Amino acid sequence: MNLKIPRLYKLFLLIIFVVFSKYTDAQHDADSLTNILLTQNLKDNFTPKEIPFNDSILDFFHIAEPLLKKDILSADLGNIGSASISEDFFKRNDFYKRTFLFNSSFNNYILNSENVIYYNTRRPYTSIMHTTSTKVRDLQTIDFIHTQNVNPNLNFGIQYNFISSAGQYLDQSNGLNSVGITSNYKKNKYSVFAAFVTDKFKLQNSGGYIDTLGFDQTVPEHFLLNSGTILSNKELSITQKYSLGKYKNLSYKDTIIKVLEPRVSFSHNIQLSARYFLYKDQEKSENTFYIQNYYLNNFSYDSVAVQSLINRFRFGSEEVFEKQHKFGFSFMLNDNLYKIYNFKNYITLQNTAVFFENQVTGNFYTLSNKGLNINISGNYYFTGYRTNDYRIKTAVFKNLFQNKYKSAVLLKFTYSNMKADYFQNTYYSNHFIWDNNFNSIQRADATFKYTMKHQKLNFRFNSAYIKNYIYNDISASPVQVDSGIKVFSAYVEKRFNLNRIIFENKVIWQHSSDDNIISLPQLAAYQSTYFIMHYKKALLVHAGYEVYYSTKYKSYSYNPSTGQFYFENNDKKYAGNYPYITVFANLKIKHNVLLFFKLMNVSSAVVKTGILPYYVNHYPLQTLMFKFGVKWTFRN
C-alpha cells in the first residue's frame, strides 16, 4: 500500500509559499481574523451555534495531532491516523448517538456534517498548515481552509485534511483524505446551510508486533503480512431555517436599517449518508493470528455498509423570545431510513436489513444571569430497530460571584436506555460471525463541574452506573455483563502564570468497580512548562516541554478485522508507567505565520528498558521523532 505524498502536492506547497510570501509583509499590520465575522457548526441538533475561532493563538500550537488535542491520554497503534481509544472513560464515544460502529475507533479524525465549520467573512480567508517529520517516517499532513462571501448573505467554504504516514515499523502505513465543502445563505427570515463531507482512510494492518522476547528496536516482526482496511464516509446535509419575528429600525450613518428580531423558528434538515468498512487480508495458512476462517483459508474480503436518509423537523424559540421570557424550548421529530448491508455466507447470500426509525426530542431551559438555570431534555424512539430507546437529561447551572473570582457551577444527571448496536448483535465475516440478542443497556451518569475562568481553573467529577455493559472480550467478540459496573473520575486543570513562565497542569483520577471488564489508569497527568519571549514585536516564541504520564493499567488489544478494541484481561500485559516527553518551540512571525519545532518521545532516548513501551498490546510507540509544522493565513 503506497501512501507516499504525491509530488504534485509538494509542488503545490512550493507555489503557495512563493505566491503568497510576498503578501506577508503587507498583511502584518492587521490580523487575518478581523475578516472573520462568524463561525458556526450544527452540532447541537442541527441548530446553528456560534463557536470560538482564533487561529493566531500560539499557545500549544505544536499539538497538531488530533489525538493529543482532546485527551490527557489516548491509546493508539503507534502511528498518526490509526485507531485509538481514550483512557479517560468519560471521553469515550457516546454510543447512544451512534451512526456507524466502525467509525468509533477513528472519531478523532473524522470530518462530518456536525463538526464542519460554516463561515461568514468580510474578505476571502485562506489558511494552510503543513507538518512533516524525518524522512524515515515519511509523515506529511496538511490542513487547508478557504472561505469567502459572494455577497454579505452568501458564503462558500472548503476544508481539506490530509494525513500520510509510513510509520516507524513495517506495514503500518496510514492515509487519510477528508474534504468538507460548505455554503450558507442568510437573508431576512430565511437561512440555509449545506455541506458535502467525505472521509476516506486507507490503512495497512500489521496486526501488532511480536514481543515475546522484547521488541527488536530496529525491525520488530509483525503478525499480518498482507492486510489492509478501507473506511469511507460520505454525507450530504442541507438545513433550512425560517424565523418568525418583527423588524426593528436601527440608525447607522444617517441610514435606517431594518434588523429582524426573531422570536421562534422552524427548521428542516435532510441528510444523505453512505458509510462502509472494508477489511481484506491474504495470509499463509500457517498464520494463526485469526483462530477461524469460516469461508476461505488464505483470503478475506469482508465489508459492511450503512446507507441512511434522515429527515428532521424542529420548532424552537429564538433569542428575542428567550430574553423576554427568560426561558427557551425546542421540539424535534426525526424520521430516519436505514439500509444495512453485510456479507452472509460470503457472496452466496447477503444480509440486508431495511428499517425506519422515528424519534421525538424535547428541550426546555431557563435563562437567568443571577439565578439558577435549569435545562431538561429527553428523546424517545418509537419505531424501528431502536424502539423504546430513550435518554433523559437534567442540568442545573449557576454563575457565582462577579469579581475576579467569577465562576460557574454545573450539575448534570443523565439516564439512558439503549439497545446494543446493530453490528454488536449481528455480524458476518471470514474470521468472525455472531448472532446475539443482547439486553438493553441502562446507564445513569452524574456530572459536577466547577470553573473559574479568570483563575484558569477547571474541576470535573463524573460517575456512571452501567447495567448490561457490552465489551469485546479475549476472543475479540462482543459479550454482555449482567451485573452493574460503577466508574468514577475526578479531573482538575489549572494554569499558573509566573511572569513569562507558564505552567499548564492536568490530572485525572479514575476508578472502575471491575477492572477485569473496564480497565483504566488510576492516575493520568499532563504537565507543560514553557517560556514566552518577544523580539521587537515581530516575533513571539514559546519554548518548553510537556510530559504525559499514567500509572500502570491492563491494556487493550486491537483487532483489524472488526476494527474494534478488545480486552484480554491479561495480568502480564500492562501499559502506562512511562513518561512521554516532548520538547518544543512555537514561533509566531508577524500576525499570520506560525511555526513549531518539536522532539517527541524524548524519553526513548533516555530511558533504555530493552522493551519498547506501548499503550495498545503489541503496538509499540514510535521512538524519538523530530517534527516540524508551519501555518500561513492570508487575506485578500
CATH of the domain at 314: 2.40.170.20
Question: How far is Cα 181 from Cα 421, in angstroms, rounded to an integer?
Answer: 30
Mean pLDDT of 270-291: 91
Q: Are 279 and 202 a contacting pair, CB within 8 Å? A: no
Please indicate, yes or no, if residue 374 is contained in any of the structural domains: yes
Cross-strand pairs, 384: none
pLDDT (tens digit per residue) in 14-25: 444 444 444 333
pLDDT surpassing 80 at residue 10:
no
Closest CA to 581 of 601, 607, 557, 562: 601
Residue 2 lies in a domain: no
Cβ atoms 154, 182 nearer than 8 A: no
pLDDT value at 501 more than 60? yes
pLDDT, mean of residues 261-268: 93
Q: How far is CA 415 from CA 107, 349, 393, 412, 505, in A?
A: 24, 40, 7, 10, 32
Pairing of strands 36-44, 118-121: antiparallel
pLDDT at 128 over 70: yes
* Per-residue model confidence as pLDDT tens digits over 228-254: 999 999 999 999 999 998 888 776 666
pLDDT digits over 168-182, tens only?
888 899 999 999 999
Structural domain includes residue 232: yes
Q: From residue 370, how far is each of 398, 449, 529 by CA, in Å?
A: 7, 18, 37
Our separate counts of H helices and E strands in the chain read: 5, 35
Q: What is the pLDDT of residues 587-602, one digit of tens each?
A: 999 878 999 999 999 9
User: Phi, psi (5° rounding) for residue 4?
Assistant: -65, 150
pLDDT in tens, 398-457: 988 877 788 999 999 999 999 999 999 999 999 999 999 999 999 999 999 999 988 899
**Domain span holding position 499:** 7-297+306-635
Lookup: cell for 319: 433569542
Strand locations in 401-456, DSSP E? 407-418, 426-428, 433-435, 441-452
- Is 418 among the domain residues? yes
Distance CA 294, CA 429 (A): 8
Q: Estimate the share of the chain in helix, then strand, then coil, as percent rounded to the nearest 5.
A: 10, 60, 35
62 pLDDT exceeds 60? Answer: yes
Tell me the pLDDT tens digit for each residue of 323-338: 999 999 999 999 999 9
% of the chain at pLDDT higher than 70: 90
Domain-embedded: residue 1: no
In the predicted model, what is the mean pLDDT of residues 537-558?
A: 93
Beta strands in 90-153 (DSSP E): 118-121, 125-133, 140-151
The alpha carbon of residue 453 and the mean position of all alpha carbons in its chain are separated, in whole angstroms, by 24
Q: Structurally, how many domains does the chain consist of?
A: 1
User: Which residues, including other chains, have CB under 8 Å from residue 396's CB and lie 6 or more apart?
Assistant: 372, 373, 374, 375, 410, 411, 412
Over the chain, what is the mean pLDDT?
88
Grid cell in block for residue 21: 510570501
Q: What is the pLDDT of residue 517?
A: 93
SS3 522: coil
Handedness of CA 110, 625, 170, 221 (dihedral sign): negative
CB atoms inside a 10 Å sphere around CB 309:
14
Phi/psi for 308 (5° steps) reads: -145, 150
- Beta bridge partners, 373, equal 397
